[in-house]
Amino acid sequence: MEADVRDEKGITVRKSEDFSEWYLQLVTKAELADYGPVQGTMAIMPYGYAIWEKIQEILNSKIKASGHSNAYFPLLIPESFFLKEAAHIKGFAPELFWVTRAGEREIGERLAIRPTSETIIYSFMAKWIRSWRDLPMLLNQWCNIARAEIKSTKLFIRTSEFLWQEGHTAHSTKEEAEEEVMRALGWYKELAERYLSIPVLAGTKSESEKFPGAVYTTTIEAIMPDGKALQCGTSHYLGENFSKHFGVNYLDKEGKSRNAHTTSWGISTRVLGALVMLNSDDKGLVLPPLIAPIQVVMVPIFYSDDDRANITKVAEQLKAKIERRGMRVRFDNREGRSPGYKFNYWELRGVPVRIEIGPRDLKDGGVVLIRRDTGEKRKVKNEELVGTLSKLMKEMQKSGLKRNRLLMEEKIFKAGSYDQFKDGVAKGFVKAGWCGSADCEARIKEETGATNRLVCTDEKKGKCIYCKKETETVAYFARSY
Amino acid sequence: MEADVRDEKGITVRKSEDFSEWYLQLVTKAELADYGPVQGTMAIMPYGYAIWEKIQEILNSKIKASGHSNAYFPLLIPESFFLKEAAHIKGFAPELFWVTRAGEREIGERLAIRPTSETIIYSFMAKWIRSWRDLPMLLNQWCNIARAEIKSTKLFIRTSEFLWQEGHTAHSTKEEAEEEVMRALGWYKELAERYLSIPVLAGTKSESEKFPGAVYTTTIEAIMPDGKALQCGTSHYLGENFSKHFGVNYLDKEGKSRNAHTTSWGISTRVLGALVMLNSDDKGLVLPPLIAPIQVVMVPIFYSDDDRANITKVAEQLKAKIERRGMRVRFDNREGRSPGYKFNYWELRGVPVRIEIGPRDLKDGGVVLIRRDTGEKRKVKNEELVGTLSKLMKEMQKSGLKRNRLLMEEKIFKAGSYDQFKDGVAKGFVKAGWCGSADCEARIKEETGATNRLVCTDEKKGKCIYCKKETETVAYFARSY
């Protein structure tokens, strides 16, 4: 048998030793993403994109079932649109890519590549909404977004272009808009926890950390193995801030013109970074079954052509059975690759369950199952295979979230003193009183590198960790990606 | 009952009288698309986008079943990439949008927004392909594309940004690559004809009309009611033209380095323009059932609250039955809108079948069905409804294509003389001998406005319609969008 020229493709560092290098190797070697030629850009490779497609499927079903529609809006936004909302342009100006020429011509007003689409979408909503009958208007788009990154690139986590969905809705009342904000945040929390096994904290951002132009921003935040927070999705209540500048108004039932209350919410390919960081080990990915593009991989083991033919026949029959139960299965019958090569290949890619079938298994009328998460091996009779797999998928999905939840809880600290606070944010989230002032927030950031991630909802009383004032606000602080 | 303030929203010109104005009114009033603030841009509105999602579903199933994978590549392409393939940059230079600034910084090498992704994708393939084992590499991406349009904008048909899928594949042999070119063209032909009821001619482009950088380009071309051709999809054999410049090579089984043979193929939101032009009448769209986001709409007719309650109950039951049979059905129980308003509303949007339920229908245990294409009305008993609808969908799908095929055939002319040729291209396609010279092609274009749309495969002998030379090439000429 030919040598496995790519056996060197495994990850060469430990997750616990060099987290950053381990992440880079995992993402590229498992063929999730690769660096592009322009600084800050990436390609999402087929295997990574297949995971993104699963996320799209999950969110689209929620988005559509609740009466939202997908649509598509222009990539290029005139500069004047950004200037209408002062906070918005201030927040995004440093990151905008500007188009100044088309062919040989100079463009009159320069055009920004969308960093987010509030302004351009409101210019359409202003035309499309006339009366209360047109509300709520519930739109969503799946698209690419560009934000020039000056800091060093990190695949999925920090790139100058990424993919996302952005929901944009207009409502006649504040209450209805605020419900929408929480509805979207709820989807994100469910996606993260139930499907991606990423436990998150949900809450509201501080004034300094909110979306530029929002009344307030809600967020879900996860904590990575290196103790840094990763924002996984945000949902904003924009009040009338945008609608008044863009003319998104409607005639109410009394014929009076009113500004709409708007919301926006988005989740991006960034969440794939969190998925990788949390669901993985030294050997590579450990995908939660619900999100895995391939849930079961079958690897044949044979020493003769006779064995090969017999094993292939049985494997194909079992594969068909597994598929009929709705599971995503691959039979890896590639020639010229050893079983060992295939084990490593699929372990790196995080396929939840591997099935091995060799000549002895054939004789016994069974197969060997290997769990990717625990490495546990067991023999299963062919007639019990589908049932066992189905149960195993549920079990693994549950235990993955449980494991990650414990890891998160271990990384949430309380701080009685500023010294304890500094210790804590070096390792994870710190829950601490905060007087609410942007000044204390800025000083904490400057001195410790930690930002205010979100305001706590279950605790309401404490002393500001910085200025010691009594306060009714408790917040989570952490360094972040 | 409140007045129907929007009854004026119907199309106010006839398709046969002012085709261009009729098209614009249909696209905007049926809420398929709308003009953007920047010249040449558009928004694809929810109803138009829902049709695009159906197209994505159909093509994705073919793309994936044949072993292709979706992926995503960067939007921004360095200028130097375009300069590597001389014909490619020459073809695209006038249409490129250039990014020259990011935030406050000047970008060193300016970046083009992708007008198509050959160059950027080959820069990745060059890294990803090492040996014959990695071939064929079969990739596809769904994305936005920007090409600065100087001519006047036409929604879907001519805009500076549009959505498409672009397949990019690398093969070890010419034969395999050429098979791939024809496979993709076959999908496009099937999509156009079987699903969208757009009959097309399939063939090869002339040298002057081929994709910049291709060895040859194959195309499907449809003819619109105004006699102009509309290119609906293209598939290119690129030979080694790109692979040699971008280093897309592989080690063959003997260890020798060889250039890959590559292909690319794409179909865009432009095809929605053809769908609208061909499947429509003075009242609006007439969607083929297979592509219709809503296949059946139910409109209740009542004069009292009692009727309303009874009709709603029966309608909901029938709706559930129709859904169970896998049909897409909407019960239009909006308040404050008259049945007449609703009839017009759904006719404009081309829903294939309307169901009316009034008090008398209720008593008779039936409903009234109205076909959108023929206007034919019939009473159907409730217990026969689902079966009738199901049969009707198939019938309408078939008859739509048949009707459009006849219309196409009426618009294909033969020309014995140049005068006849000029007459013909004012009304449709002309099939005529062509000596094969770019010079005759250019003169024909200059004098008649008609371009060479594709080379004919069923006829091979004639005299060049321009220079009268004997030739073995017969081609289709037409004015085009």
| pLDDT per position as a tens digit, B402-430 | 999 999 999 999 998 999 999 999 999 99
Phi/psi region, residue B365 (left: phi>0; alpha: psi -120 to 50; beta: rest), is: left
Q: What distance in Å separates the CA atoms of residue A244 and residue A383, rounded to the nearest whole number? A: 65
Which chain B residues touch A167 with a CB distance below 8 Å? Answer: none
Is the pLDDT assigned to residue B298 strictly greater than 80? yes
Does pLDDT of A457 surpass 60? yes
Contact A369, A392 (CB under 8 A): yes
Tokens of A148: 């020039």
Q: How do strand B366-371 and strand B377-381 relate by DSSP bridges?
A: antiparallel
Q: What is the pLDDT of residue B2?
A: 38
How large is the average pLDDT for residues A48-74? 98
> What values do phi and psi take at A214, rounded to 5?
-80, 155
Q: pLDDT above 70 covers what percent of chain A?
A: 98
For chain B, give the mean pLDDT. Answer: 95
Say what percent of chain B tops pLDDT 70. 98
Query: Residue A302 CB: number of other CB atoms within 10 A?
Result: 17
- CA B221/CA B201 separation, integer angstroms: 5
Report residue B346 CA to chain centroid gap. Answer: 22
Residue in chain A closest to B89 (alpha carbons) equals: A103
Confidence of residue B6 (pLDDT cuts 50, 70, 90): very low
Q: Please report residues of B whose CB lies closer than 8 A to that of A77.
A: 38
Task: Convert the pLDDT of each residue in A403-423 to its tens digit.
Answer: 999 999 999 999 989 999 999
Tell me the residue type at A309. Answer: A
Write the residue in A94, A99, A161 that is nearest to B98 by C-beta: A99
- Return the pLDDT at A398: 97
Q: Say if residue B8's pLDDT is above 50.
A: yes
Select from B52, B95, B103 the Cβ nearest to the Cβ of A93: B103
Residue the block writes with tokens 């008779």:
B364
Q: Do the Cβ atoms of A71 and B163 come within 8 Å?
A: no
- Count Cβ atoms within 10 A of the Cβ of residue A175 and give its class: 0-12 exposed, 13-18 middle, 19 or more buried: exposed
Residues in contact with A77: Cβ distance below 8 Å, sequence separation at least 6, in sequence order? A111, A112, A113, A114, A117, A119, A120, B38
Strand B97-102, strand A97-102: pairing: antiparallel
Q: What is the pLDDT of residues A296-321, one digit of tens each?
A: 999 999 999 999 999 999 999 999 99
Look at residue A212 in the predicted model and tell me its pLDDT: 94
Partner-chain residue, chosen from B43, B95, B96, that has the shortest CB–CB distance to A72 = B43
pLDDT one-digit tens code per residue, A328-338: 999 999 988 99
User: What ranges do the domains of chain A cover?
Assistant: 11-281, 294-394, 412-478
Work out the minimum CA distance from B42 to partner chain A, whole angstroms: 6
> Do the Cβ atoms of A72 and B163 come within 8 Å?
yes
Q: Considering the domain delimited by B11-281, tell me its CATH architecture.
A: 2-Layer Sandwich (3.30)
A458-479 confidence digits (pLDDT tens): 888 899 999 999 999 999 999 9
* pLDDT, tens only, B199-242: 999 999 999 999 999 999 999 999 999 999 999 999 999 999 99
Euclidean distance between CA atoms B231 and B166, whole angstroms: 15
Whether residue B103 and residue A53 make contact (CB cut-off 8 A), yes or no, is no
Q: Domain A412-478 belongs to what architecture?
A: 2-Layer Sandwich (3.30)
B172 pLDDT exceeds 60? yes
Per-residue DSSP letter, A84? T
Task: With beta carbons under 8 A apart, name residues in chain A contacting B110.
Answer: 101
- Whether residue B93 and residue A74 make contact (CB cut-off 8 A), yes or no, is no
What's CA A157's distance to the chain center, in Å? 9
Give the 3-state secondary structure of B362-395: HHHCEEEEEECCCCCEEEEEHHHHHHHHHHHHHH
Residue A334 φ then ψ, to 5°: -60, 140
Give CB contacts under 8 A, 24+ apart, made by A385-394: A385/A318, A385/A321, A385/A322, A385/A355, A386/A321, A386/A322, A386/A325, A389/A296, A389/A322, A389/A325, A389/A327, A389/A353, A390/A325, A390/A327, A392/A352, A392/A353, A393/A289, A393/A290, A393/A295, A393/A327, A393/A352, A393/A353, A394/A289
- Determine the residue type at B429: F
pLDDT in tens, A249-279: 999 999 999 999 999 999 999 999 999 999 9
pLDDT value of residue A380? 98
How do residues A138-176 score in pLDDT, each as one tens digit?
999 999 999 998 778 999 999 999 999 999 999 999 999
Is the Cβ pair B72, A50 closer than 8 Å? no
Question: Cβ contacts (< 8 Å) between A133 and chain B: which residues?
Answer: 336
Mutate to test the interface with A, among B39, B64, B99 (most CBs of A within 10 A): B99
Put simply, the answer to whether B97 touches A99 (Cβ < 8 Å) is yes
As assigned by CATH, the class of the A294-394 domain is alpha beta
* CB spacing of A76 vs B144 below 8 angstroms: no
Residue A89: per-residue pLDDT: 87
Q: What share of chain A is helix, strand, coil (3-state, %, to 5)?
A: 40, 30, 30
Average pLDDT of the segment spanning B28-40: 95
Q: How far is B54 from chain A (nearest CA, A)?
A: 12
**What number is the ipTM of this complex?**
0.96
Residue B227 Rama label (left phi>0; alpha psi -120 to 50; beta): left
Whole-number pLDDT of residue B4: 42
Residue A8 confidence class, pLDDT cut points 50, 70, 90 = low
Token pair, residue A401, equals 């979230």
Q: Which contiguous run of DSSP H or E holds residue B29?
A: helix B19-29
pLDDT, residue A7, reads: 45
State whether CATH 3.40.50.970 applies to domain B296-392. no
Please tell me the distance from the alpha carbon of residue A427 to that of residue A153, in angstroms, as a whole number. Answer: 23
Q: Is the pLDDT of residue A64 over 50?
A: yes
A3 — pLDDT class (breaks 50, 70, 90):
very low
> Is residue B280 pLDDT above 50, yes or no?
yes
Residue B339 near residue B301 (C-beta atoms within 8 A): yes
CA-to-CA distance for B145 and B164, rounded, in angstroms? 7
Q: Do B97 and A101 touch (CB under 8 A)?
A: yes
Asked, colleague to colleague, whether A294-394 and A412-478 share their fold, the answer is no
Mutate to test the interface with A, among B34, B60, B76 (most CBs of A within 10 A): B76
User: What single-letter DSSP state applies at residue B4?
Assistant: -
Which residues of chain A are within 8 Å of residue B335 when distances are taken between CB atoms? none
Q: Which of B6, B38, B160 to mutate to test the interface with A (most CBs of A within 10 A)?
A: B38
Chain B residues in contact with A3 (beta carbon < 8 A): none
A307 vs A301, A339, A359, A379, B239, CA distance in Å?
8, 14, 6, 19, 42
Tell whether the model's pLDDT for residue B5 goes beyond 60.
no
